[in-house]
Copies of this chain bind each other. A is one copy, B any other.
C-alpha cells in the first residue's frame, strides 16, 4: 500500500512541532547571544539553560519555545519557508528571556525552571543589565532583518503592552480583595492579554510578516496569538492552584499562599459563596480550604471555560486564513496542546 498523499497526512504532534522549530531557530539564537559582551552572554546562556554559572555547558530545561514556534509557523502560514521567520523567532525569544529576567527581579521570584533565577545566581544589578542587553539585541536582530520598519513597529507595540501588563500585575497585588477597588475579571483579562498575549501575537504576526503575509493575515494572527495568551495565562492560573507540583514545579497552593490575584480567585471573590475566601488567602491563610472554596464558587470552571472560549476564537481566526503548507494544522495542534497541558 502506498503512503498517504501529503494533503491528508496527520499533522505532527505539538511536541514534534516545538522540537522542529527549536532546532531551526537555535543556531541563529546562539549566534545572536554570542555577539553580546561575554559576561552578559553567559547570563543569557544560563537563562536559556545552555550553561551553568561560570559558563560550563549544561542542558538544563529551557522554555517550551512556544514563541519561536509561533514565529516559524507564522512564516509557514504565509506560504514561506519557516526559515523566513527565524529573525522574528530570535527576536521574540530574546524579548521573552528579557522579560523573565526582569519580572523575576520585580516579583522577587528566586527560582526559575528549578534553578536559581538569574538575579539570585548573578546579582540584581547584573540581571538588570543582562535583561537590557537581551532587549537591545532583540531590537537589533529585527532591525537588521529584511522585514524593515513594519517588523520593529510590531515588536515595539508588543513591548509597550508587555510593560503595561507587568505594571498592572504589580499594582493588582496592592488592591483589596473586596469592595469597589477590587480587581475585576475584566481588568485581569486585559492584563493577561498585555503581559502574555501581546508577545504571542507578535511572534505569530512577525513571522507571518517576514513570510510575506498581507496586512489582514498579519492582523488575524496577532489577534489569534493574543487570545492564545489569555487562554495560556488562565490555564497557568488553574495549574497554579490545582496542578500537580511534580509537573508544574511549583509548590501546592503557592499562588494562594502568595495571595496572587489570579482569575479563579477573582471570579470566586465576586461570588457570595466565597465571602470567607479573603481570610484563607496569603501566607497566614489555609491554602487547601481556599482551593476548595474557589472551586465551589465556580472559579476553576469559569477559568477553564474562559480559556476554552479564547482558544476557540484563536482557532477560528487561524482556520479563516488561506490554507498554506499544513502550517495551520500545526498551529491548531499547538493551540490544543497548550490548552490541554497537564489538566
Query: A residues within 8 Å of B by Cβ?
Result: 35-37, 39-40, 102, 105-108, 124-126, 128-129, 131-133, 135-137, 139-140, 143-144, 148-149, 152-153, 155-157, 159-160, 162-164, 166-168, 170-171
Contact = CB atoms under 8 A, between A and B. Distances in A.
Contact of A128 (B102, B133, B148, B152): B102
A38 to B, nearest CB: 9
Contact of A143 (B40, B131, B149): B149
Given A128-B128, A136-B163, A149-B152, 11 more contacts: A40-B163, A102-B132, A107-B125, A108-B125, A129-B170, A132-B163, A132-B166, A136-B156, A140-B157, A140-B159, A143-B152
A148 B105 CA distance: 34
A132 B168 CA distance: 14
Given A149-B143, A153-B143, A156-B140, A163 B133 contact: yes
Nearest to A134: B163
19 contacts: A36-B164, A37-B164, A37-B168, A39-B167, A39-B171, A106-B128, A106-B129, A128-B131, A129-B170, A131-B132, A132-B135, A133-B167, A135-B159, A136-B159, A136-B160, A136-B163, A137-B160, A140-B157, A143-B149
Nearest to A148: B149
A125 B148 contact: no
Nearest to A166: B129
Contact of A125 (B105, B137, B144, B155): B105
A251 to B, nearest CB: 22
Contacts of A105: 124-125, 128
A187 to B, nearest CB: 13
Contacts of A148: 148-149
Given A124-B105, A125-B106, A163-B132, A156 B139 contact: yes
Report the copy number of this chain in the oligomer. Answer: 2
Contacts of A144: 153
Given A167-B39, A170-B126, A159 B139 contact: yes
A160 B135 contact: no
A18 to B, nearest CB: 28
Nearest to A39: B167
Contacts of A133: 160, 163-164, 167
Contact of A102 (B36, B129, B159, B170): B129
A53 to B, nearest CB: 16
Contacts of A36: 164
